[in-house]
Structure 1
Amino acid sequence: MTFDVVLTDEPTAADEAFVSDGLDEFNFAAAGVQDRQPLAVLVKDPDTGETLGGLTGRTSLGLWFVDLLYLPEKLRGSGLGTRILAEAEAEAGRRGCVSGVVYTIQFQAPEFYARHGWTEFGRIPISGGRSRIFFRKELRA
């Protein structure tokens, strides 16, 4: 039997759901746990409700993955990043996560994560002489 293998940069929501649900089923059969769940902490404009920045990620099988953390320049240095990270970390702990993982790039926020107790555990070189820097943080003693 032959199959079409399709490369796309525009997967449909149904495509992504099929792959995600299939992996969830496999993980449940193998580990007996089905706990993958999105985790987001958003900064909203109090007048308009517009999202101004925030953190997105997920928790699964005892691990918290930070996918994205963004604040526009005008909100940086205000303590919002620290609040966002702390709220996400607390929620990950409530969900039973024992560790968190994030990667950043040299020009993004490695100092921010280090300041908040994250430990670098690896670097992967990318273009332009830069590296992706991987951090982890223990959430429970």
Structure 2
Amino acid sequence: MPARSEGFTIALAHNGDARTQAAAALYRHNIEQTGIDDRAVIGAELTDPSGKIWGGIWGRTELGLLFLDMFFLPEKLRGRSYGSQLLMAIEEEAIRRGCKRAVVETSSFQAPQFYRLHGFEEFGKVEFVIPGHARIFLRKNLQ
């Protein structure tokens, strides 16, 4: 049952427009607090000669940080240095933008070892209800 207070209603929902408006308001607040308006999307993609995108890495840069939001390569392309090259490309661009550190969160069954091999260190972990698995938070100095 929705909660009510002073005429407002609270109900479980996921409205894309509301989320977009809230994100914009939060970002304006962040700019007011920091005086910095530097958020920018960043990405690097692996394409074949026909232009088909096979995978990539995407995120954003903001306040001197590179946030890695998504990184995907099909299984058949893993272990062939494409992932390392994609990560290197995005890190180099982030450094060019003035980023000093990178942060990523991944799951224990995804790619924590890949990130560790590339200089990331774990700084947090939250266990899933699935025994032996967790959400892992990693960071790396880019300088």
Answer whether TM exceeds 0.5 for this pair: yes
Alignment partner of 1:76 out of 69, 78, 81: 78
Matches within 5 A, 1:46-61: 46-47=49-50, 49-61=51-63
Offset of residue 93 of structure 1: 1.0
Tell me which residue corresponds to 1:7.
12
CA RMSD of aligned residues (A): 1.5
* Structure 1 residues without counterparts, runs of 5 or longer: none
Identity of aligned residues (%): 41
Q: 2:90 aligns with which of 68, 85, 88?
A: 88
Take 2:74 and 2:125, find their aligned partners in 1: how far apart are those partners? 26
Match of 2:37 in 1: 34
Q: Which amino acid aligns with 2:91?
A: E
Higher Rg of the two aligned structures: 2
Distance in 2, matches of 1:3 and 1:94, equals 46
1:40-84 deviations in Å (ceiling 9; x for gaps):
11112321x222111111111111111111100111111100011
Question: Residue 17 of structure 1: SS of its match in structure 2?
Answer: helix
* Counterpart residue number, 2:102: 100
- Tell me the TM-score normalized by structure 2: 0.87
Q: Secondary structure at the match of 2:105?
A: strand
1:110 aligned residue: 112
In structure 2, the CA distance between the partners of 1:62 and 1:124, relative to structure 1 (3 Å rule), is same
